[in-house]
Amino acid sequence: MAKKAHIIGAGISGLAAAVRLANEFYEVHVHEATQQAGGRCRSYYDAATDLVIDNGNHLLLSANHHALAYARSIGTEAGLVGPERAQFHFVDIRDDKRWLLDLGNGRIPTWLFDEKRRVPDTKIGDYLALAPLIWASTDTLVGDSIPCKGVLYDRLVQPLLLAALNVDPPKGSAGLAGAIVRETLLAGGQACRPLIARDGLSAVLVDPALTLLREKGATVNFGHELRQVLMAGENISTLEFGDDAITLSPGDAVVLAVPPRAASSILLDLETPKNFRAIVNAHFRFDPPHEMPPMMGVIGGLVEWLFAFDKRLSVTISDAERLVNAPREELARDIWRDICKAVPLSKEIAEGPLPPWQIVRERRATFEATPEQNALRPGTVTQWKNLFLAGDWTDTGLPATIEGSIRSGDKAADLVLKMR
Ligand SMILES: Cc1cc2nc3c(=O)[nH]c(=O)nc-3n(C[C@H](O)[C@H](O)[C@H](O)COP(=O)(O)OP(=O)(O)OC[C@H]3O[C@@H](n4cnc5c(N)ncnc54)[C@H](O)[C@@H]3O)c2cc1C
């Protein structure tokens, strides 16, 4: 008889665990509190722009091996689209200076030795000063490890670490920043190719997983919020969902892949990160000019990253606590002004009416990637033999990312398999 696994939460970590177990002939039941899968990584129809948009622009890198393997396992690796070489366009909108950071496509970071490929006005020595990040411990601050000022910091290190950590970089965990640098910049251009789910997060990372799960006989139950678990000895014995309860049989496994607040309301003694950071995304219905790159780093304004999609320009602003209560119309105008400089767009367009727009503010986008909050991340194993944790906030060694989330789901699934 097939062994049973209950996956609580249909975010990316829960889906990764569910797919892995379904592929290993487990009878899988996914329980999701809301009416939609994907959690913080999802798409939906937005009436204001009359487009399907993502809750946030998500960037993957070719170094994200677990994420790529997950996409392969659900048949959508080709849906993660990016250039052949790891090239990143940047603009400083204060003086319209534009440059291309060309990390190439090799295994060795040869770009460092080529003045034309690295950040303009930087020297080799500036990059060597980043070395302490490579071996920094998670309880060290970025600001105590590397120089957080100067041209290289402003034009590369700050935007990269802000996007990765979602906190002001000097206050972030140097160990987490180091993990990103080791797995990407230090691993050469072949690890740094930017990849985007061009057809939308749900179409590439979520819906095909649900299709595969159903084909394998799994159930996906929406509006099924886990409220409580009952314990018997060393195991979880019952899952209580409010209106109904499931009694577990010996050998049944549970993967709790919910956000930290939900996890600690179900497992009262569980220590989890308690501080979170916001990300603001803005979407404008506007046909990007043909010559515009799919993604640009924007320096010197409110906007940090600008993405060109079919019929849409979208921006990301990290560590955005200061913007979560800002008046929406004003925010949209300020963001559009930056976009017009960055693309660039004509004066008539810049001064004309705003195109249809939407602003999405994810207040708890990620846990705060500081040494204090990182120290509160639990591992996958719990004191109950049949219960495992997953989620980007568990102790993955990475900041809150899709890659970390999928690694956590894979690890939980591997531990379930070892229960056999
Ligand atoms: C705006 C934004 C931009 C981002 N950009 C990037 C990026 O560029 N690159 C990158 O790698 N990462 C990015 N991330 C991070 C990435 O989205 C997350 O790391 C990832 O989606 C987290 O997945 P998860 O499964 O760990 O958690 P979640 O997505 O939070 O999934 C948890 C699921 O559990 C469900 N749930 C909660 N309570 C219960 C319950 N009691 N019972 C049942 N179900 C429950 C929730 O509804 C949810 O579906 C971004 C995140 C945001 C918000």
Out of 159, 191, 223, a domain closes at: 191
What is the H or E stretch that residue 102 is in? strand 97-102
Ligand 1, from 7, 36, 41, 410: best to mutate by most atoms within 8 Å of Cβ? 41
Kindly report the CATH number assigned to the domain that includes residue 314. 3.90.660.10
Residue 162 forms part of a structural domain: yes
Burial of 327 (0-12, 13-18, 19+ CB in 10 A): exposed
**Which pairs with CB-CB distance under 8 Å and at least 24 residues apart come from 120-127?**
120/151, 120/155, 121/151, 122/151, 122/152, 122/155, 122/156, 126/150, 126/151, 126/152, 127/152
Residue 68 forms part of a structural domain: no
Residues 384 and 268 placed together within one structural domain of the fold: yes
Report pLDDT for 243: 87
Nearest residue (CA) to ligand 1, atom 13: 401
Q: What is the pLDDT along the chain (420 residues), one digit of tens a residue?
A: 779 999 999 999 999 999 999 999 999 999 999 999 999 999 999 999 999 999 999 999 999 999 999 999 999 999 999 999 999 999 999 999 999 999 999 988 889 899 999 999 999 999 999 999 999 999 999 999 999 999 999 999 999 999 999 999 999 999 999 999 999 988 999 999 999 999 999 999 999 999 999 999 999 999 999 999 999 999 999 999 988 999 999 999 999 999 999 999 999 999 999 999 999 999 999 999 999 999 999 999 999 999 999 999 999 999 999 999 999 999 999 999 999 999 999 999 999 999 999 999 999 999 999 999 999 999 999 999 999 999 999 999 999 999 999 999 999 999 999 996
* DSSP string for residues in 353-377: PPPSEEEEEEEEEEE--SHHHHTT-
Number of domains forming the structure of the chain: 3
Residue 386 forms part of a structural domain: yes
Residue 211 forms part of a structural domain: yes
CA nearest neighbour of 70 among 213, 279, 176, 218? 213
Instruction: Give the distance from CA 266 to its chain's centroid.
Output: 24
> CA separation (Å) from 25 to 19, 103, 315?
10, 42, 41
Out of 168, 191, 214, a domain closes at: 191
Residue 64 forms part of a structural domain: no
Residues 379 and 267 placed together within one structural domain of the fold: yes
Nearest ligand 1 atom, CA 10? 49
Nearest residue (CA) to ligand 1, atom 10: 401
Residues 173 and 293 placed together within one structural domain of the fold: no
Residues 345 and 286 placed together within one structural domain of the fold: yes
Report pLDDT for 172: 98
CA nearest neighbour of 232 among 339, 373, 387, 397? 387
Residues 238 and 379 placed together within one structural domain of the fold: yes
Ligand 1 within 6 A of CB of 345 = no
> CA separation (Å) from 156 to 85, 92, 160, 166, 257?
18, 12, 6, 15, 33
CA 302 to ligand 1 center in whole angstroms: 24
**Does the predicted TM-score (pTM) go above 0.95?**
yes
Structural domain that includes position 389: 4-41+200-274+370-418
Ligand 1 within 6 A of CB of 260 = no
- Is-contact 411 390, C-beta < 8 A? yes
Out of 349, 367, 385, a domain closes at: 367
CA 132 to ligand 1 center in whole angstroms: 31
CA 297 to ligand 1 center in whole angstroms: 24
Report pLDDT for 420: 64
Residues 138 and 183 placed together within one structural domain of the fold: yes
Nearest ligand 1 atom, CA 402? 11
- Is-contact 8 256, C-beta < 8 A? yes
Residue 143 forms part of a structural domain: yes
Residues 337 and 284 placed together within one structural domain of the fold: yes
Ligand 1 within 6 A of CB of 166 = no
Residues 336 and 388 placed together within one structural domain of the fold: no
Ligand 1 within 6 A of CB of 56 = yes
Ligand 1, from 7, 35, 40: best to mutate by most atoms within 8 Å of Cβ? 40
Ligand 1 within 6 A of CB of 39 = yes
Residue 83 forms part of a structural domain: no
Kindly report the CATH number assigned to the domain that includes residue 407. 3.50.50.60
Residues 269 and 388 placed together within one structural domain of the fold: yes
Ligand 1 within 6 A of CB of 28 = no
Ligand 1 within 6 A of CB of 220 = no
Ligand 1 within 6 A of CB of 281 = yes
How many CA atoms does the CB half-sphere of 259 hold within 13 Å? 15
Residues 284 and 359 placed together within one structural domain of the fold: yes
CA nearest neighbour of 313 among 53, 38, 48? 53
Residue 187 forms part of a structural domain: yes
Ligand 1, from 35, 402, 406, 411: best to mutate by most atoms within 8 Å of Cβ? 402
Residues 183 and 208 placed together within one structural domain of the fold: no
Ligand 1 within 6 A of CB of 31 = yes
CA 93 to ligand 1 center in whole angstroms: 32
Ligand 1 within 6 A of CB of 6 = no
Residues 147 and 19 placed together within one structural domain of the fold: no
Ligand 1 within 6 A of CB of 7 = no
